[in-house]
């Protein structure tokens, strides 16, 4: 065994140097550096006691030492430490900008320009941290945040459960920012599609209203896929919208309601083929983007000639889709 791990006073041996130092502090406090010198650890000393020449690897160690052994000379032996950042509100000190910025957020829980909005308040209060908003829900509005845990053996079970939950609220849970992959699992976050702020990029008159509540709805699903199994943390509580509200709303009140019913039926028939709910969501997003592009083209038409050209271009597309649907129907009948 290495000589540095051997106590020369009581003849005890230790597997690690730190254990020898602990032993020395307890039974031979006046000879710690002689029995287990720090230089063997190759640690850099950042502070030194000018009274007894004891060295320390941390500035806090010097302060504790002086308070214990040279308390009457504390202000002479311990010089004020320099900090790069100081909080103006509570005078706390920080050396790293990241820690300083995070601390400053604790003083700005009602920032009028940033943060999460409480849709239950008349003044549209905002909070910088989710924990503060949840506490506000509980204390001010007596709303409890319900969190559940669910386990599913495969994708089909999870997709079926997710679809059932979406049918209860007449809405969707959509992927927030893709998936995070690690060595052990894949993590995906689904959020309520009503949550968020609506930013209109449309100039047309016949547009569906946004389902966004211009605020934050806490309902979400955190899905971890581990060895093909789905571990789900489900925050069930919806805030800021009516879960019984219908999804389809239009600004054109004169539009024929029967057309809306027909569109819903077609959408349902198309979506039956999706076993993976992620593909269903991607399909709806692509469809909505395509509708926006087409409406921009239609809005840009300036004369009858341009309209006639556009109709001539669309006619083959309509017939092609009809042929495709007929082929798909025949294929389904054969199977």
Q: For the chain, which domains are there?
A: 3-77 (no CATH), 85-141 (3.30.160), 147-261 (no CATH)
Residues 6 or more apart whose CB falls under 8 angstroms from that of 169 comprise: 192, 219, 238, 243
Q: What are the pLDDT digits (tens) for 173-213?
A: 988 877 777 777 888 889 998 888 777 666 555 555 667 87
Higher pLDDT, 68 or 269: 68
Q: Could you give the CA distance from residue 166 to residue 179 in angstroms, rounded to a whole number? A: 20
Higher pLDDT, 128 or 226: 226
Higher pLDDT, 217 or 4: 217
Write the DSSP symbol of residue 66: H
Q: What are the pLDDT digits (tens) for 256-268?
A: 444 434 444 434 4
CA distances in angstroms from 131 to 105, 142, 146, 218, listed in the order given? 13, 15, 14, 11
pLDDT band, residue 56 (cuts 50/70/90)? confident
Beta bridge partners of residue 226, listed in sequence order: 229
């Amino acid at each position: 065994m290495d000589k540095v791990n051997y106590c020369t006073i009581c003849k005890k041996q230790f597997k690690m140097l730190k254990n020898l130092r602990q032993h020395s502090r307890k039974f031979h406090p006046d000879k710690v550096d002689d029995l287990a010198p720090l230089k063997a650890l190759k640690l850099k000393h950042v502070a030194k006691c000018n009274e007894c020449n004891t060295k320390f690897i941390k500035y806090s160690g010097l302060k504790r030492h002086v308070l214990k052994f040279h308390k009457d000379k504390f202000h002479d032996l311990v010089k004020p430490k320099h900090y790069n950042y100081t909080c103006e509100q509570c005078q706390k000190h920080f050396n790293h900008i990241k820690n300083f910025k995070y601390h400053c957020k604790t003083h700005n829980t009602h920032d009028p320009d940033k943060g999460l909005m409480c849709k239950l308040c008349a003044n549209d209060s905002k909070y910088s941290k989710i924990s503060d908003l949840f506490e506000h829900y509980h204390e001010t509005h007596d709303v409890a945040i319900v969190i559940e845990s669910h386990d599913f053996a495969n994708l089909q079970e999870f997709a079926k459960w997710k679809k059932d939950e979406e049918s209860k609220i007449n809405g969707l849970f959509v992927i927030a920012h893709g998936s995070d992959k690690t060595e052990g699992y894949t993590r995906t976050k689904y959020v309520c599609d009503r949550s968020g702020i609506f930013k209109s990029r449309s100039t047309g008159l016949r547009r569906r209203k946004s389902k966004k509540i211009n605020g934050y709805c806490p309902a979400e699903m955190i899905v971890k896929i581990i060895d093909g199994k789905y571990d789900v943390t489900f925050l069930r509580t919806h805030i800021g919208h009516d879960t019984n509200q219908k999804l389809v709303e239009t600004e054109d009140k004169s539009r024929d309601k029967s057309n809306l019913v027909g569109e819903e039926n077609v959408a349902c028939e198309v979506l039956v083929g999706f076993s993976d709910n992620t593909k269903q969501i991607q399909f709806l997003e692509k469809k909505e983007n395509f509708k926006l592009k087409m409406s921009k083209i239609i809005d840009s038409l300036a004369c009858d000639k341009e309209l006639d050209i556009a109709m001539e271009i669309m006619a083959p597309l309509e017939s092609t889709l009809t042929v495709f649907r007929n082929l798909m129907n025949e294929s389904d009948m054969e199977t």
